[in-house]
Structure 1
Amino acid sequence: MTMAFVTTHPTTNHGEMATILPPNNTISFLRSSKRRRGDCRFFSQPRVFPTVGWDNIDPSIPVEEESIPTYRPERFYPVHIGEVFNHQYQVVGKLGFGSSATVWLCRDLLNHRYITLKIYTASTTVSREIKIYNHLRTIQSNHAGQSCLRPLIEIFRIQSPEGDGVHTCLVHPPLGISLGQLTSLLPDRVMSSIMVRTTVRYILAALDFLHTEARVIHTDLQPNNILLGIKDDSILSKFEQAEVEAPVPRKILKDRTIYLSRPFPISNGTPVLCDLGEARLGTDQQHGDIMPDLYRAPEVILDMSWDCKVDIWNVGLVIWDLFEHCHLFRARNPERKLDDGYHLATIQAVLGCPPRVFLDRSERSEQFWDQNGKWKGAAPIPDDTLEGLEGRLEGDEKVDFLRFLRRMLCWLPEERATAKELLFDPWVMHGLFK
Structure 2
Amino acid sequence: MEIIKGGVTAAKGFEAASTAAGIKYKDRTDMALIYSQAPCVAAGTFTKNVVKAAPVKWDQQVVGSGAKVQAVVVNSGIANACTGAEGFGYCKDTAVAAAKALDIPEDGVLIGSTGVIGKQMPIDKLTAGIDVLAGKKNDTLENGTEAAKAIMTTDTCEKELAAVIEVGGKQVTIGGMAKGSGMIHPNMCTMLAFVTTDAVIAKETLQKALSGDVDDTYNMISVDGDTSTNDTVILLANGLAGNPEIVYGSPEYEEFALALHAINEYLAKKIAGDGEGATALFEVKAVGCESVEQAKTLAKSIVCSNLTKTAIAGHDANWGRILCAMGYSGAQFDPEKVDLFFESKAGKIQIIENGTAVDYSEAEATKILSEPEVTAIADVKMGAEEAVAWGCDLTHGYIEINADYRS
TM-score normalised by structure 2 residue count: 0.29
Greater fraction of residues in strand = 2
* Larger-gyration structure (1/2): 1
Greater relative CO (CA pairs within 8 A, separation 6+): 2
TM-score normalised by structure 1 residue count: 0.27
